[in-house]
A and B are shown apart, each in its own frame.
Chain A
C-alpha cells in the first residue's frame, strides 16, 4: 500500500481541516505508516477507500480521532517545541512587556491550559525570569489549569525525572532546577510564579472566569476535542485574552482553522496568532 502524492495531499488537507494539524510533505512516511495501521485495523486494502471513510463517511469523527491518536503524542516535557518557545521569548513576550511598560502597567498573566503534569507552566516561568529579570518586581503569574486532579497534584510537587527535563538548556538547568537524588525539583523562586488550578475547558461558566491573560498556551490539547468543543474552547480563549495578547497552540496546530477571530502574524520564522 502506498499513498500517492495526491492522496497524501487529500489526507493532509483533511487532517488540517478537521484537527487543525499541519503536516509537511516530508511527513509522508510518518503518515503513511499511521494510515497503514488504521487500514489494517479496518480491513481496507486501498488508500482511496480509507480516504473516503475519513473524509465522507465519518459522521461522528471516530475514525479521525483514531487517526489523531496515532499521529499525536501524549508525552510532555520541559521546553517541548523549542522553536515556538523561542518566538515567545524573543519576540512576543518582549513586545507585550514593552507595551505594558509604556502604559505604566506592571502585571503579566500567562495561562497554561491543559497543563498536565506542569512541565509547560514551569518552562514558561523559567523563560519569564530569564528574559525579564524585573519580573520579580511585577505582579507576574502563570496560571496552569487541568481537568485531572492527579496530574495537578503531581505538578504542584514540581519534581521531575530526567525524561521531563531532557531538553532543558544546560544553562537553565542549574539556574532553575535543583538535583535531588534521581530527580530534579524546580527551584522555589521559579515554582512560586505558577499557580495550579482545576479547570474543565468544557465548563463554559468556569471558562468565563478566566480573564485578562496576555498569553495563552494550549498546546496539543484541543486535538483531543471534537469540532464543536474545540471551537467553543478557542472562542473562550479569545475572550480570555487581552488585546495585543497571543495564543499558542501546538507547533502543527492551526488556530486559524478553528477560529477566524485571531490575527495571524509572522514572528521570525513562526506564525503566531494574536488578538488585535
Chain B
C-alpha cells in the first residue's frame, strides 16, 4: 500500500486527529490522486476541524481536479461547504475562470450567484465579461450580486450599465444595490442621474435615502452639501447624514457647513452614541463662529466618554484659535488618557 493510499484509508479513521493528519498529508503530497477521496469525505465528515483540514489540503494540490470539485460544492446543501468552496475558488485565482464560466452557463440561480461572488474578486478580464452578463440575468438575486460586487471591486466599466438600471419602477432591492454601487464607482454626474430618475430629491423614496446620501457624500460636489443638509433633523437619517458630510469634507476640506446645520448637529452630538456624536462634534468645527457652538464644544471636553472628549478637542482646536487653546488648557490640566492628550497635541499616545 502506498503512503497516499494509507492516508486515504486513514480519512475514515474513528480518531479525529488521525483524519486531520491524513488530510494534511494528502495535501502535502500534492498528488491529484488524493482529490476524489478528500471530496468524498467532505459530505460525511462530522468534524468541522477535519473539514477545514480537507479544504486546506485541497488548496495545496495543484491540479484542476480541485477546481472542478470546488465548483461542484457550490451546489451543496451544506452552507459551510458552499462558503468554503467560494473561498477556495477565490484563492485559486484566474485558473478557475473557464470552469466558472461553464458553471454560470449551465448552473441554476444559486450556483450563478456564487459564481459571481467568486469571479468578482478575480483580477481577470473574463471576470468582467461574466459580471456584465450577470447584470442581464433573469434572476434578481444574481443581478443584485453582480451589482454589489461591481461596486465593491470598483468595476467602473460597469458604471453606465448600472446607472441605466436606476429607474423609478425597478425592484427596491435592486435600486438600493445600484445606488450603493454608484457611491463606489459612480462619477460626479451620478447624483444628478439618480435624482432625475425619481423626478427630484424630495421624491427619492425614504428607504433609498441612506444610500442616496452615501452617493452624495462619495461623489457629490461641494455645493451638494446643501442637499445633504436638507436631510438633517430626521433622526433615522442621522448616521447617513453624518457619514455623507464627513465623506464630502474629506474630499473638499474647505467646504463650508451651511449654518442651518448648527442645531441639527448639536442635537446629533447630544443624543447619539459616542461614535456618531464624535462625527457631529468634528463637523461642528466648521460652524464654531455660530452662536453657542464654541461653548457647546468646550463643554464636551469634560465628557466622561473619551471618544466625545477627543471629538470636542479636535473640533475646538480646528476652529477656535487662541481662545480655544486657553479654554482647552483650563479643562485638560488633569487629563491622563494618552489618546486624549495626543488629540490635544500635548503629548504623544503610546
Q: Are B52 and A5 in contact (CB under 8 A)?
A: no
Q: Are B250 and A25 in contact (CB under 8 A)?
A: no
Does A163 have its Cβ within 8 Å of any Cβ on chain B?
A: no
Contact indicator per residue, chain B 27-58, by CB within 8 Å of chain A (1) or not (0): 01000000000000000000111001100100
Q: Please name 19 further chain A to chain B contacts, defined as beta carbons within 8 Å, in addition to the given A5-B242, A48-B247, A239-B21, sorted by A numbering.
A: A2-B250, A4-B247, A5-B279, A6-B239, A25-B273, A28-B275, A29-B343, A30-B339, A33-B342, A45-B250, A47-B250, A55-B152, A56-B152, A228-B56, A235-B52, A239-B49, A260-B48, A260-B52, A261-B48
| Interface hits, B83-128 → A, CB 8 Å | 121, 123
Q: Which A residues touch B52, using CB under 8 A?
A: 231, 235, 259-261
Q: Smallest CB–CB gap between B79 and chain A, Å?
A: 12
| Interface hits, A183-207 → B, CB 8 Å | 204
Assuming the contacts A4-B243, A231-B52, asked whether A208 and B21 have C-beta atoms less than 8 A apart, the reply is yes
Q: Smallest CB–CB gap between A243 and chain B, Å?
A: 10
Does A26 have its Cβ within 8 Å of any Cβ on chain B?
A: yes
Q: Are A204 and B48 in contact (CB under 8 A)?
A: no
Contact indicator per residue, chain A 66-85, by CB within 8 Å of chain B (1) or not (0): 00000000000000000000
| A239–B258 CA distance with the chains assembled, in angstroms | 61
Assuming the contacts A5-B242, A47-B250, asked whether A25 and B275 have C-beta atoms less than 8 A apart, the reply is yes
Q: Are A2 and B47 in contact (CB under 8 A)?
A: no
| A4–B280 CA distance with the chains assembled, in angstroms | 11
Q: Which A residues touch B251, using CB under 8 A?
A: 46
Q: Which B residues touch A259, using CB under 8 A?
A: 48-49, 52
Q: Are B242 and A59 in contact (CB under 8 A)?
A: no
Number of A residues near B (Cβ < 8 Å) is 33
Q: Which B residues touch A1, using CB under 8 A?
A: 250
Q: Are B306 and A26 in contact (CB under 8 A)?
A: yes
Assuming the contacts A28-B278, A204-B28, A235-B53, asked whether A5 and B239 have C-beta atoms less than 8 A apart, the reply is yes
Does B310 have its Cβ within 8 Å of any Cβ on chain A?
A: yes
Does B193 have its Cβ within 8 Å of any Cβ on chain A?
A: no
Q: Which residue of A lies closest to B153 (CB)?
A: A56
Q: Are B56 and A235 in contact (CB under 8 A)?
A: yes
| A129–B56 CA distance with the chains assembled, in angstroms | 40
Does A238 have its Cβ within 8 Å of any Cβ on chain B?
A: yes
Q: Which B residues touch A2, using CB under 8 A?
A: 246, 249-250, 279, 282
Does B319 have its Cβ within 8 Å of any Cβ on chain A?
A: no
Q: Which one of B123, B247, B307, B343 contacts A26 once the chains associate, using CB atoms below 8 Å?
A: B307
| Interface hits, B316-350 → A, CB 8 Å | 339, 342-343, 349
Q: Smallest CB–CB gap between B28 and chain A, Å?
A: 7
Q: Are A6 and B21 in contact (CB under 8 A)?
A: no
Q: Smallest CB–CB gap between B314 and chain A, Å?
A: 9
Q: Which one of B49, B249, B339 contacts A261 once the chains associate, using CB atoms below 8 Å?
A: B49
Q: Which A residues touch B121, using CB under 8 A?
A: 56
- A–B complex contacts, Cβ < 8 Å, 23 sampled: A4-B246, A5-B275, A7-B243, A7-B247, A25-B273, A25-B307, A28-B307, A48-B184, A48-B250, A56-B121, A56-B153, A204-B24, A235-B20, A235-B24, A235-B53, A235-B56, A238-B20, A238-B49, A239-B16, A239-B17, A259-B48, A260-B48, A261-B47
Q: Are B343 and A239 in contact (CB under 8 A)?
A: no
Q: Are B278 and A239 in contact (CB under 8 A)?
A: no
Q: Are B56 and A29 in contact (CB under 8 A)?
A: no
Does B301 have its Cβ within 8 Å of any Cβ on chain A?
A: no
Q: Interface majority SS on B: helix, strand, loop or mixed?
A: helix
Does A111 have its Cβ within 8 Å of any Cβ on chain B?
A: no
Q: Which A residues touch B243, using CB under 8 A?
A: 4-7
| A260–B80 CA distance with the chains assembled, in angstroms | 10
Q: Which A residues touch B217, using CB under 8 A?
A: 4
Q: Which B residues touch A260, using CB under 8 A?
A: 48, 52, 80
Q: Which A residues touch B255, using CB under 8 A?
A: none
Q: Which A residues touch B278, using CB under 8 A?
A: 28
Q: Which A residues touch B306, using CB under 8 A?
A: 26
Assuming the contacts A5-B239, A29-B310, asked whether A48 and B249 have C-beta atoms less than 8 A apart, the reply is no
Q: Which one of A4, A33, A228 contacts B279 once the chains associate, using CB atoms below 8 Å?
A: A4
Q: Which A residues touch B242, using CB under 8 A?
A: 4-5
Q: Smallest CB–CB gap between B204 and chain A, Å?
A: 19
| Interface hits, A1-59 → B, CB 8 Å | 1-8, 25-26, 28-30, 33, 45-48, 52, 55-56, 59
Q: Which A residues touch B24, using CB under 8 A?
A: 204, 235
Q: Which A residues touch B168, using CB under 8 A?
A: none
Q: Which residue of B lies closest to A47 (CB)?
A: B250
Contact indicator per residue, chain A 214-252, by CB within 8 Å of chain B (1) or not (0): 000000000000001001100100110000000000000
Does B276 have its Cβ within 8 Å of any Cβ on chain A?
A: yes
| A8–B249 CA distance with the chains assembled, in angstroms | 16
Does B154 have its Cβ within 8 Å of any Cβ on chain A?
A: yes
Q: Which one of A25, A228, A231, A238 contacts B274 once the chains associate, using CB atoms below 8 Å?
A: A25
